[in-house]
Structure 1
Amino acid sequence: MRSPKELTRAEIVRAAIHFRWTRKGAKWTVIVGERELPARPLVLEAAGVPPNDPINSHQAVEILRRLGFETRYAKDQGEMEIEEKEEPSEKESGSILEMVSAVTREVPEHEWERVPADLSRNVDHYLYGSKRTDQ
């Protein structure tokens, strides 16, 4: 048994030829030839180590990337895809005061009434329960 960190590209390719994986849901996969295979199990198979080897998926992916393989990460089905927005330019975003004002305008008036009048003076009391400062 070798350390997975000592594997060569040829050993990964050789292991991939006969590799069979029936489980679903591997988050990290690797492309070897025409096949997409689970990254960690393939690395463990190529190294000849048992499945309970301490190498984790991220280490396996790093080994595969170092050897020149394409790796992929598959999101969970339940995860929401977050759309990336372009950052507004400095001219579009305005000053920090304008940004804060825009956000505070969205807060309903009845919510502002719930903010304690001494919040700025006693913020530690409201956040952490420390003694109030009465001045």
Structure 2
Amino acid sequence: MNEQLAKTVAAEVQKFKPLITDYCRLESVAAQKRMMSETADWVENLLKETGFETRQLVVEGAPNYVYGELSGQSDFTLLLYNHYDVQPEAPIELWESPPFEVTEKDGKLVARGICDNKAELISRICAIRAIQAAQG
């Protein structure tokens, strides 16, 4: 990896924790219909900030689907799929920290939904932004 690309990637990595912290605060529990619209709006805004053309697909009785398309320099198509809902946090007494607040424990970030599937989306966005920045 060349030096400039390494700096660009390092800069994007620094943006990961604030993004994942904001995302995990959204209590997007589909089973309880909590914060689903707010979370769809947040995800759509994140995609827009990254240069995606976006829209929300509304299906009656289901959380909104967020669709984003980012044009590239080739005809190659890459499909990324993520979901933004999480499982209920119960039983709450088993949590050692507030479930919707990102906490660092033994060098790892812990929060409800961080591994399934919120960190994956933020990692992908940070990688896309690093590529965009490296390309100028």
TM-score of the superposed pair, with normalisation by structure 2 = 0.19
Larger RCO: Structure 1 or Structure 2 (Cα < 8 Å, ≥ 6 residues apart)? Answer: 2
Larger Rg: 1
Higher helix share: 2
TM-score of the superposed pair, with normalisation by structure 1 = 0.19
